[in-house]
Every structure is written in C-alpha cells, then in structure tokens.
Amino acid sequence: MSVLQTVNRVLTPKTKRSVVNPLEQLNEYQLSVLEKEGYDLEFLEAIQPRGGVQFLENGYMTADGHVRTLKVYGYAKDADLFWLAYLMNNQDTVATLDIATAEKDEVINKINTKLNELEDRSVSERKATDRNDSVHDYRELAEYAANLTKNGEIAKKILLQIHVYAPTLEKLDERCDELMKDIKGTGYKVYPRMFQSKYDYQSLFTNFSQQSHNPNFQRGHTLPSLVLGKGIPLHHQALKDPQGAEYGYTKTGGTFIWDVVQLNSTRLSSNLVMFGTMGAGKSTILKMIAENMLAAGNYVWGFEKAKDFLPLIRSRDGRIVRLDGSEGMINPLEVFATKTDDSGLQVNEKGSFISHLDKVTHQLSLINPELKGTLRSDFRIYLRHFYIRKGLIPKSFKEEAVSSEPFKITGLSPEAYPTLSELWAFIKSIKLEKGTTPAKLARKEQLETMIQELCETYGDMFDGHSTITNLSNEPFVFFDIESIDGLDRGVFQAQLYMAMTLIWNQALIEGRRQKYLYENGQLKEEDMRQFCALIDECHNVVNAHNIETVEYMTNFQREMRKVKALTLLATQSPQEMVPENANHEHLDQLKKVFELSTQKIFLKMDDSQLQHIKNLVGMSLTQSELQSITSQKKGEAIITFGDRETYRVHITPNQRQLKLFSGGK
C-alpha cells in the first residue's frame, strides 16, 4: 500500500473524506501516522523525486531544467501581418499573451498629453528631421484618437512574456542571447526579468486582471485592436490523419501525420504524383509511403528499374519479378482470374477467359503493330479454337452467348496451360477449306511468322510454362523493367502491359472481395486493405511512346477508387511526363494521368519548370508557393490535396529508414 493510501485509510473513517493532497507537504500528524505504519520516512525523503519549483534571481528552476522570462516592452512601429508569430512561435519557448480592454477616457487623456508634447517638439526641435518626425507622429496619433472617439476603435492592453527553457544554465544563457538578438532585429524590444521569478512563473496561470494585483505589476502596452487582430500567432498548420504515419513537420512546426489513402471532402481520391529533381528525395518519400502501407497490412505492387527498392523489398520478404525471363517467366497463355461475380468471391470463368483473349491479342499487336483489322480478328478466332482443341473450354463456347456450358480455366497448375510454341504448331496445322482466298491464306502465314519469331527470338519471355507463381498471395511485388529496357520497343510494351494487367487483376479481385465483406458487415471500413500501384521514375512507363500503357493507367486511376486502389507516380519533372511537344491526342491522354492524381508533391525543381507546373496545376498553388519550389532544400516538399489544401513539409525519415533506403535517397 502506498504512503498516500495509508494516510487516507487511517484518516478517512474519522473525517468522512480524503484529506491528503498529494501536492502539499504532509503535516506532523500525517507523518506520525506513517511512522506508526512502519514507514522509514528518512529513507523515503532520500529517494523521493525532486520536483517542485525553485525561484532564483534571474529565473526559476524545475526538475528538468532552467527557465528565464523575457518581457517584450517595445513594439515595431509598422507591424506586419502575423507579427505576434515572430515573438510567440520560437523554438524552446512558451509565450503568454494577456489582453485587457483599456479605458477609453484614460487612453484619450494620455493621447492628449502626448499630442501637446509632439506639437511643442514639432516647433522647438533643433533638427529638421526631428521636427518632421514629430509632425508625422502627431498625425498618426491624432488619427488614432479620432478612430477611438468616432469610428468605434477599441484600445487594448497587452502583456507579452516569453519563457525560455533549457536543461542547463549555460544553454539557457545561449538561447536567451540568440532569441533577444533575433527579436530586436525585427524591430521589437525585450529584456530579461530579474528578481521577479515567482511572479513570472505564476503569470503562466493567471490572467491580466489577476496579474494587475501583483506588487511588481507593470502596465501593459496599449495598441489598437486592429493591430492586435492582424498579429494573430495561431496560424499553425498541422496534419493529423487518424490512421496516418509521421512523415515530418510543417513549416510552422506542426506534425505531419499523413494517411495517403485517407478520403474526405477535399481528398476525393488517393492517386498521387510527385515531381522533384535528382537527389531531392523522391525515392525516399515513396519508400516511406510503401513501408507505412505495408505496415498497415496493405498491398504494394510496382515497377523497379534502378534497384533502388531492392533493400526495402528484401527487408519485407517481397518479390522481384524480372520481365526478361532470366529468373522465371509468366506464360502469356495462362488464364488469370480477372473477373468475379458481384460478391467478389467467385471467379467469373467465362468473363476471365474473354478478358484473356483481349489481353493476348493486344500484347501481340504491341509487338507487331500490323496486327489489326481482319488479321487481328483471324488471330483471335484461332486463339479461341486453340483452347477448345486443348480441352480447356467446351466446344459449345461462344463469346456472345448469355449462358454456356460451365467450365474451369483459371487457377489450374502451370503445366495445364499451353505454350506459345504449341499455339504456333496449332496454327500451322490448320487446313483451310478449298476455295479460301489468297488473302486469308496470306494472313494465316503472317500469323505463323509472328508467333515463330516470338518463340525463337524471345522464347525465354514468351514460350514456356509459368515458373513465377503464387503472386496473388504476395503483398509486396515489384516488376524489374531494367532488364527489358534495351529490347525492341514492342516487346518492352508487351511485357509492361502484361505486368500492368497482373497489377490491375490483383487490385480488382482483392478490392471486390474487401468491398463485399464491408457491405455485408463482415469487415470494418478502417480494416479494408488498400492496393497501391507504385511507379518510381514513371516517365519510363508513362510517356508518349507508350500511349497504350498510358490509356491503361488512366482507366486504372478512374476505376480503382471503387475498390480501394490507388497509383503512386514519381518523376523528375512534368516535362518528362507531359511534354509540350507531344501531339494533341497523346498530350490529352498524358494530362489525364496528372489530372486524375489529386494528391501532388512538389520537391525542389529548376526555374525552367515553373511555367509548365503552373499550366498543369492552375490555381491549386499560390504564387508564393509556386515560386518557393525552386528554393526548397533536400527533403522539403509542397504537398497539395487540391481545393487549396496545401502543406509545406520537411520530410524527416529516421536513421533506420535512411540506412534501409540507401541506393535511392
């Protein structure tokens, strides 16, 4: 039983109430009670925490350091907007501002006295400049008096004191000297209080009226209410999303606790795009976002080129999928579950197969742009018949039929699906009917040649059973596009499209399942898992040369909000992502990616980019915010959520993150 509990237990039966105040010293009777209970009071005194306040001649001392009070006694003549912030928002200080309404008659009497003095000085001063100053001050004071008597102006008295704290006296002297120098540099006057430390401490908890009864009270400074009003120091900015993680602090020192997937009246979608020059901190911010999303149980899939994300992927037991086939491949003829029923729990086999036919046809058209029109239709027909020949779909299957014989084609073992070389052999084996036109025969031979080239030239990527499996169970997957960067443009686009399809499929299936559970009351909204598609250096993927992928991306951004999915894009400048010299049709598509990314981060960029940024963001950034982009230091960012909700943030990754994120900071 504690000391206080013992005293209370003994005294309560007699007094019917608890008499021990833990903030007051125990009296002799209470001490005697403790001694009778067997407590060693000398030992307790020796080991008790040293709390309380000790008042010194030039400040006061608490258990955790020293405090000195600075009093502001002189104010700048022409006060700026938010001028009180210069005095009250300083590091390692607590500032108090006590306000009272001044008596109008008293103020008018003092003004009259001062006006008489100024009138006399305007004539009697020896120097012309002093006489002119007196005339100027006279006019200002006379105008103030007129506002008080005729225009409803109210005079205010203020007491402004700054309590500076530090762990040691040496540090306190240093901080006070620096702060006083800074304050005087802005036109204000301040001095350290001496021999009044007890009253200074009490001023933290008492108002103007209460302080006026102290023997050391000094009258407050009188100023117009309009000047006081525009000095408001409480323009503090902070972000505290309920499910957020800490990324740094705002320009005013407020915490920036951000949840990328938080939606509200201004953040209508979670898609994000980030711009910044080399070394400004893009990759670090992306990795912080990815790590925080994974910690919350979400999915993060993306593209990797410079191996920047490799340490983070390994630390999280993620997967790297090389798209050149050197460490395994994904069979382009394997059918994935891309469609589900309304519940999101049952795979729509027919819908998934039709989507698969579209995907394979489009991939081949990316590699061979001449695959269009009748040639494209022939290939799709041959492909459908090929799956019938393999026994994977029934002979009665028709794409346009409302219902057909049920079948199972998704989720089979990799060996159950045919390969591209088998498709090549199938097309070669097709015997066209007598009377077939030479054009149809030529198209068949052209398709044979297309598929033969893929099998013989890019067999490691396209011809074989899938050796990369179970990706659907992986929360952290990145596709390595560096290995295919130097290949034929069509091959690059085809593999990119395949990876985008896998990302979309995973987001769709997982999102629909989560949505169904939520709508049926089996899952809370805050427990729903989000899906993030992350692309660093996105100009390698989203550009005028990959316009098909751009269209795929914009469709993803539009549709995935419904199933709790988002895109995170980062590049060095908007010029790389949305070039001004792109043709009109492509430019519109590229702009849509930017427009659909409602969250935008601007790190340091070159002056030459400002006009382009202004054209893209419109009025969502003020002119000062726009101009500050070029002067930002590493780790500083302007983050806008649209609708004029903008934060100027200093990103502060911790030491563990900096070490883990090395390779792309």
User: What domains lie within the chain, and their CATH numbers?
Assistant: 3-47 (no CATH), 54-230 (no CATH), 329-467 (1.10.8)
Structure tokens at 414: 């990799």
Q: What is the DSSP string of 42-55?
A: HHHHHHS---S-EE
Which residues, in sequence order, are CB contacts of 416 under 8 Å at separation 6+? 392
CA–CA distances in Å: residue 561 to residues 206, 257, 343, 636: 52, 22, 17, 29
Instruction: Write out pLDDT tens, residues 407-448.
Output: 999 889 999 999 999 999 999 999 888 888 999 999 999 999
* pLDDT interval class at 2 (50, 70, 90): low
Which residues, in sequence order, are CB contacts of 549 under 8 Å at separation 6+? 493, 496, 497, 500, 541, 542
What pLDDT was estimated at residue 5?
67
- 367 has a pLDDT exceeding 70: yes
**What is d(CA 465, CA 242) in angstroms, rounded to the nearest whole number?**
46
| Mean pLDDT within 642-659 | 88
| Mean pLDDT within 594-621 | 85
CB atoms within 10 A of CB 25: 7
* pLDDT interval class at 16 (50, 70, 90): very low
* pLDDT interval class at 11 (50, 70, 90): low
Residue whose pair of structure tokens reads 């010299």 in the numeric block: 581
Instruction: Write out pLDDT tens, residues 34-87.
Output: 888 888 888 888 887 767 788 999 999 988 899 999 999 998 878 887 889 889
Instruction: Write out pLDDT tens, residues 338-361.
Output: 777 766 567 788 888 998 999 899
| Mean pLDDT within 204-225 | 89
User: Is-contact 446 398, C-beta < 8 A?
Assistant: no
| Mean pLDDT within 471-494 | 88
Q: Which residue type does 561 have?
A: R
The pTM of the full predicted model, rounded to 2 decimals, is 0.67
Instruction: For 223, list phi and psi in degrees, rounded to 5.
Output: -155, 160
Structure tokens at 335: 């059918």
- 327 has a pLDDT exceeding 90: no
CB atoms within 10 A of CB 589: 18
**What is d(CA 556, CA 553) in angstroms, rounded to the nearest whole number?**
5
Residue of 249, 96, 262, 259 lying closest to 650 (CA atoms)? 249
* pLDDT interval class at 256 (50, 70, 90): very high
Structure tokens at 272: 């994000």
What pLDDT was estimated at residue 15?
46
Instruction: Write out pLDDT tens, residues 133-170.
Output: 888 888 888 888 888 888 888 899 999 999 999 999 99
Average pLDDT, the chain: 86
* pLDDT interval class at 296 (50, 70, 90): very high
- 643 has a pLDDT exceeding 80: no
What pLDDT was estimated at residue 615?
79
Share of the chain above pLDDT 90, in %: 38
- 7 has a pLDDT exceeding 60: no
Q: Strand ranges (DSSP E) for 140-250? A: 155-166, 189-192, 221-224, 239-240, 245-250
CA–CA distances in Å: residue 243 to residues 246, 257, 268, 295, 562: 10, 9, 17, 11, 20
- 17 has a pLDDT exceeding 60: no
Instruction: For 444, list phi and psi in degrees, rounded to 5.
Output: -60, -45
Share of the chain above pLDDT 70, in %: 94
